[in-house]
Amino acid sequence: MVKKLSDNFVYWEFHESIAFADIRLSGLPETITVKGNELPRKTEFHITLIDLERIAKLINQNAAKKIQTEIIDEVQNFLKTDKLDKFKLLNKFRFVQRDSRKSVIVMCRLPGADRFFSLLRKKYETDLPLQPFHITLYALPKDKGIGLLSDEEVEEFSVPVESPELKNIKPA
């Protein structure tokens, strides 16, 4: 199930996440070869705001489903005043690998999202990681991204990528 939370944000029940969706990008070739792997371009692009399942379990493992519902409500309330309708691509590309999945991502900035995470930290009185905002550009298997919950996971599961093919990427 997909539930639209605002003009830009959706809740994906099957991913248990909330994302800035329907991002349009240009300047990307159909495939890219990184570290001997040919990866196809994704058919859709988004920025995950929050991985509900993993964050809820960090807050309280025993009440995770209840907390997920609360966080969805918090996002909807937050988006009434903070639109989070802008993002900035950073010139930082990474090759991510976890198990058999592989992807190429571009890191980005989502201004205002830090305020949302501050609200959650205060509400739940816990130190939650700020989601490392990124867009998955290419993935194997096709269209299967790899969730990254913290900067530590970015460092653990990825390496920087330098590729002239990626220099032309921009919002469409």
Task: For residue range 79-126, list pLDDT tens digits in order.
Answer: 999 989 899 999 999 999 999 999 999 999 999 999 999 999 999 999
Domains of the chain: which residue ranges? 2-171
3-state helix, strand, coil in the chain (%, to 5): 30, 40, 35
Comparing C-alpha atoms, which of 121, 144, 139, 141 is closest to residue 131?
121
- Whole-model pTM? 0.94
